[in-house]
């Protein structure tokens, strides 16, 4: 088996940490990138080389990408940035510049379902532009990996569950949504990187074992945390925006999130490929809810 060197962005994040560990297990060399050197230490003890700094810094990325066989490129959510859109655009540009300068041959780019749309899709818009930026780099083999809604997103609702015994967004309660566990995403990406066979510019959509509505997912999660009556409430777009702002989000981010939820409701964000078995992770919402429950209890204890 050929052993490669990979640069993994967001190595302390949901996908990045699973992916780094998976690639190390397969015997590859990994340069794990994150913004916090202390949080990266655990990966260092597992054999990764670590690099820390801000992903808007193209020179840091160039250093990490130089002489790598492939890069896992990733734009952080930017939920704490003063201006989320500016942060995501600056990061995307820094990534593209560093890839071109380091003459990287293979990039597995984390994108999202809905990135086929150039506008009206909230934070996914930048992922559309990033796909285009990377497609314009000469001699680059790039696979745009477009996963569905992360099951881990439900962790954002923990304060609402604790304070008001409900999960509430503007997403329709009976709209089936492709939900997927980030550990399954990491596993699939590790297979693509281990083989390194993709050529040109391609797209790959990836979902969970079955689509779920917000109401169904809320029921499963409620049962796992001992709240079988936990309710999902569909809010109006205005109510949803106000609720997010009240919870501490900036007006800009709340607007972008509502725009994305509206695009789901209007069936604009939808799959464009046939979801055969290779496009599906194995983790069910029932299995994920056990992990959710552990995190919920830890947070409850700490509060």
Report the nearest approach of ligand NAP to the CB of residue 13 (Å): 3
Please name which of 9, 13, 14 lies closest in space to residue 181, comparing C-alpha atoms. 14
Q: Which residues contact 292 (CB under 8 A, 6 or more apart)?
A: 151, 154, 155, 221, 224, 225
Nearer to ligand NAP, 47 or 53 (CB): 53
Report the nearest approach of ligand NAP to the CB of residue 234 (Å): 18
Alpha helices by DSSP H, listed for 83-171, are: 84-101, 124-135, 158-164
The residue from 55, 204, 292, 296 that contacts ligand NAP (CB under 6 A) is 55
DSSP symbols for 132-150: HHHHTSTT-EEEEEEE-EE
Q: In this chain, which residue has its C-beta nearest to ligand NAP?
A: 13
Give the separation between CA 253 and CA 78, rounded to whole angstroms. 9
Nearer to ligand NAP, 13 or 209 (CB): 13
Can residue 34 be called a binding residue for ligand NAP (CB under 6 A)? yes
Question: CB count, 10 Å around CB of 200?
Answer: 9
Site for ligand NAP in 192-231 (CB under 6 A): none
**CB-neighbour burial class of residue 207 (10 A; exposed 0-12, middle 13-18, buried 19+):** buried
Q: Which residues contact 196 (CB under 8 A, 6 or more apart)?
A: 2, 4, 69, 70, 106
201 in Cβ contact with 135 (< 8 Å)? yes
Report the nearest approach of ligand NAP to the CB of residue 135 (Å): 17
| H or E element at residue 213 | none
Report the nearest approach of ligand NAP to the CB of residue 12 (Å): 3
207 in Cβ contact with 280 (< 8 Å)? yes
* Number of residues located near ligand NAP, criterion CB under 6 A: 22
Nearer to ligand NAP, 10 or 209 (CB): 10
- Site track for ligand NAP across 121-150, x = CB under 6 A: ------x-------------------x-xx
Binding span for ligand NAP by CB under 6 A among 72-80, 99-107, 256-264, 287-295: 72-80
The residue from 4, 7, 8, 13 that contacts ligand NAP (CB under 6 A) is 13
- Interaction site with ligand NAP (CB under 6 A): 10, 12-16, 34-36, 39, 54-55, 75-77, 110, 112, 127, 147, 149-150, 153
């Amino acid at each position: 088996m050929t052993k490669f060197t990979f640069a993994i962005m967001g190595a302390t994040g949901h996908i990045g940490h699973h992916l780094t560990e998976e690639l190390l297990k397969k015997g590859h060399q990994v340069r794990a990138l994150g913004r916090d050197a202390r949080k990266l230490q655990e990966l260092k003890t597992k054999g990764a080389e670590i690099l820390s700094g801000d992903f808007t810094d193209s020179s840091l990325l160039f250093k990490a990408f130089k002489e790598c066989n492939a890069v896992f490129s990733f734009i952080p959510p930017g939920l704490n940035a003063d201006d989320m859109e500016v942060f995501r655009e600056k990061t995307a540009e820094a990534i593209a510049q560093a890839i071109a300068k380091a003459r990287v041959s293979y990039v597995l780019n984390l994108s999202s379902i809905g990135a086929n749309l150039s506008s009206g899709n909230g934070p996914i818009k930048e992922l559309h532009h990033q796909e285009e930026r990377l497609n314009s780099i000469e001699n680059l083999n790039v696979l745009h990996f477009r996963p569905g809604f992360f099951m881990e997103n439900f962790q954002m609702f923990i304060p609402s569950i604790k304070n008001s015994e409900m999960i509430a967004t503007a997403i329709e309660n009976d709209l089936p949504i492709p939900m997927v566990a980030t550990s399954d995403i990491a596993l699939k990406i590790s297979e693509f990187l281990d083989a390194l066979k993709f050529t040109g510019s391609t797209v790959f959509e990836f979902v969970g074992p079955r689509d779920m509505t917000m109401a169904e997912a809320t029921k499963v999660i409620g049962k796992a945390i001992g709240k079988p009556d936990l309710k999902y409430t569909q809010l109006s777009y205005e109510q949803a925006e106000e609720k997010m702002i009240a919870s501490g989000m900036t007006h800009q981010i709340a607007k972008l999130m509502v725009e994305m939820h509206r695009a789901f409701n209007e069936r604009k964000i939808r799959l464009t490929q046939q979801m055969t078995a290779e496009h599906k992770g194995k983790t069910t919402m029932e299995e994920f809810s056990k992990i959710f429950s552990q995190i919920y209890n830890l947070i409850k204890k700490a509060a």
